[in-house]
Homo-oligomer: A and B are copies of this chain.
């Protein structure tokens, strides 16, 4: 294998293992990484339906249904039936959920927050640009 490619392979493998391990075992102030990511997503992007989350996170509707149930129990989100279309349940982050993401004291920040504070702005932009390109191609391939 060519040198550049080999360096990339090693680094990407490391990164991927880290991402997976973090999703499997990561604890963000008492909730798992996936739950944390959902709360953070709703916080940053505003209310969304389960259907939207399913598409965003590439998981099935039943999987979302269970996640939502747990997040509701933990009072990190609330659910409101849409009056226009009563099949829809809008999910919205609560003050408690926001507080969790803001991570006031002694709390562990999300990976995104940590990365964006570790890289200088210019590098972060470069990284984002390339990563965007990668994601778009991978997604495109996936749809085929």
Contact with B along A33-48 (1 / 0, CB 8 A): 0100100010010000
Q: Give the total of A residues in contact with B, Cβ under 8 Å.
A: 53
Known: A119-B130, A128-B7. A112 touches B13 (CB 8 A): yes
Q: Does A124 contact B (CB under 8 A)?
A: yes
* Chain A residues numbered 11-49 whose CB sits less than 8 Å from any CB in chain B: 11-21, 23-24, 34, 37, 41, 44
Bound Cα distance A115, B11 (Å): 12
B-contact bits for A105-144, CB 8 A (1 contact / 0 none):
0000001101110110101111110111111011101100
**Residues of chain B lying within 8 A (CB to CB) of residue A128:** 4, 7-8, 11-12
